[in-house]
A and B are shown apart, each in its own frame.
Chain A
């Protein structure tokens, strides 16, 4: 599709584009690409450590959510009805920012980093 922009490339089509490594006659023009396609790119395999939540210590302060550089945290309502982080290991690079920044409860962290086997 030369000379057009990739405005209607479906997720399925984009996956084909990558796996089939399309040639220039099929690729959209001007080196353009559909918005947000990095979501298909796994960066989780960079991680040597992974975060683990200790939910009792979580005060739902949201800090981990704002600090995570990799959109690897979503805040999900837990059994207590409060929002707690859920880690997406497809993206998490194991940087440990969330654990370092987590204020936890009474000095007890709600996120700890564990070695990934």
Chain B
């Protein structure tokens, strides 16, 4: 596997001049993802911050062919693209070369409105890589909750009020749902771990059939923290085990280095408190009074999932 520095030689196919907020982790992620492209590649993008901010007409940050159709259908769009290339290649209408297809969707476009189209495409077995960049809410429309929003988070449709303390449900276990489709490659990633992320994108592109990567990509505006902290927040997500890093290849779970370190030395596992305190969306858990009841609930849920994933990875 190449070193991080070696990956720096790879071309980035996502230019500057996009209009994601200063410090938007989706920008770091997009750059890192495109560094993994090493074959002709096309990108399909669901509506959302990444799409909107990277392609305000007539400016586009994408240096590879890029297509946006709508919010909830990127997997179906990618299915059609793949089918057409296959047919045209078979009929000798285009060069006989493989074209990688990458689809991007936010948590809203993946966990919620796009879940059906994703499930359909995974079941049909199209050869494409789906990357869900999860910033924990519908950010582009103004921070509304999604089923990917973490427990207790304050969003504009799960506001922390005097009676209801933010979102009442835990995050939907999307990765488990995707794994249940028995596709050849599933992984989790964060932009704080670029080498791990780029490697996974390469692997996901190289397998035949559908691949899926869930990227925790923080949002300075919606999760409310200083822009300089955007990478740190995704690192904290790994360190607190809210986003364990692992891959599932043909059903086999393997835990990746950053999480493995925590698994082998539990003292390295940070309490969720650190993750929560760092973000304004959880401020109501500390002010006007500290809600230890909710923080404990949150911690218990994470611990339970962490044990589950450790068991699956055999660590």
What is the bound-complex CA distance between A39 and B28, given in angstroms? 16
Q: Is the CB of B230 within 8 A of A95?
A: yes
In the bound complex, do residue B28 and residue A43 qualify as a contact, i.e. CB atoms below 8 Å apart?
no
Residues A41 and B59 in contact in the complex (CB < 8 Å), given A90-B16, A95-B230: yes
Chain A positions within 8 Å of B59 at CB level: 33, 37-38, 40-41
CB of B148 within 8 Å of the partner chain: no
Among residues of B, the one whose C-beta sits closest to the C-beta of A39 is B15
A94 / chain B contacts, CB cutoff of 8 Å: 22
Q: Which residue of A lies closest to B220 (CB)?
A: A95
Task: Pick the most buried of A18, A36, A90: most chain B CB atoms within 10 A of its CB.
Answer: A36
The interface bits of chain B over 81-118 (1 if a CB of A lies within 8 angstroms of the residue's CB, else 0) are: 00000000000000000000000000000000000000
Shortest distance from the beta carbon of A39 to any chain B beta carbon, whole Å: 5
Q: When the two chains form their complex, are residues B4 and A38 in contact, meaning their CB atoms are under 8 A apart? A: no
Q: Which A residues are CB-close (under 8 A) to B230? A: 69, 95, 97
Does the CB pair A96–B15 fall under 8 Å?
no
A96 to chain B: closest residue by CB: B228
Using a CB-CB cutoff of 8 Å, which residues 13-54 of chain B contact chain A? 14-28, 31-32, 54
B209 within 8 A of A: no
Residue B189 is within 8 A (CB to CB) of chain A in the complex: no
**Contact (Cβ within 8 A) A69 B12:** no
Q: Name the interface size band of chain A.
A: 35 or more
Query: In whole angstroms, how far apart are the Cα atoms of A88 and B12 in the complex?
Result: 15
When each residue 72-98 of chain A gets 1 if its CB lies under 8 Å from chain B and 0 otherwise, what string results?
100100000001000010110111110
A46 contacts across to B, CB distance below 8 A: 22
Point out which of A34, A39, A40 has the most chain B C-beta atoms below 10 A from its C-beta. A39
> Contact: B16 with A67, CB < 8 Å?
no
Q: How far is the CA of A14 from the CA of B275 in the complex (A)?
A: 45
Contact yes or no, A91 B17, CB < 8 A: yes
Identify which of B12, B15, B28, B65 contacts A97 (C-beta below 8 A).
B28
Of all chain A residues, which has the CB nearest B30?
A69
Instruction: Give a binary string over B195-234; 1 marks a CB under 8 Å from any A CB, 0 the rest.
Output: 0000000000000000000000000100000111111100
Q: Do A70 and B231 form a contact, CB below 8 Å, given A35-B60, A96-B23?
A: no
A67–B8 alpha-carbon span in the complex (Å) = 11
| A67/B194 in contact, CB under 8 A | yes
C-alpha gap A101/B21 in the complex (Å): 18
Q: How far is the CA of A92 from the CA of B177 in the complex (A)?
A: 39
Q: A46-B22, A95-B230 known; 20 other A-B pairs, CB under 8 Å? A: A33-B58, A33-B60, A37-B58, A38-B17, A38-B59, A38-B60, A40-B17, A41-B19, A62-B5, A66-B4, A70-B16, A70-B22, A71-B14, A71-B17, A72-B16, A91-B16, A91-B17, A93-B23, A94-B22, A97-B23
Can you list 13 A-B pairs with a CB-CB distance of less than 8 A? A37-B58, A66-B32, A69-B23, A71-B12, A93-B21, A95-B23, A95-B227, A97-B28, A97-B227, A97-B228, A97-B231, A100-B228, A100-B232
**Closest 5 pairs (CB-CB, A-B):** A69-B27, A96-B228, A95-B23, A91-B16, A38-B17
> Which of B's residues lie within 8 Å of A, judged by CB?
4-5, 7-8, 12, 14-28, 31-32, 54-55, 57-66, 191-192, 194, 220, 226-232
